[in-house]
Amino acid sequence: MKRYVFLIVTGGILVLLAVLAYWDVYRPKVGPVGNAPDDAAVMRELIYRLLSGLSVMFSGILGVYGYSKKKK
């Protein structure tokens, strides 16, 4: 059971880190004006990070559900 709760918490942290990384990319920085990030690469990376975090969270939820069904 502890493993599944750990997976859910880890998935939540990964999703939070993905959102924070996305926010950090578009935060104004000091430097030349022409150094804008590549939007396609940023979105691709955000989707990849969100999917990885959500899949870890989903596997934890499935584990808790299976554990509770087996317990009954």
How many whole angstroms separate alpha carbon 21 and alpha carbon 29?
14
pLDDT at residue 29, as a whole number: 76
pLDDT tens-place values along the chain, 72 residues long: 899 999 999 999 999 999 999 999 888 777 776 677 888 999 999 999 999 999 999 999 999 999 988 887
User: Which stretches of the chain are assigned E, i.e. beta strand?
Assistant: none
Residue 32 in any domain: the answer is no
CB 15 within 8 A of CB 50: yes
Whether 8 is covered by a domain: the verdict is yes
Is residue 43 one of the residues assigned to a domain?
Answer: yes
Q: How many domains is the chain partitioned into structurally?
A: 1
The residue segments making up the domain with residue 42 are: 2-27+37-71
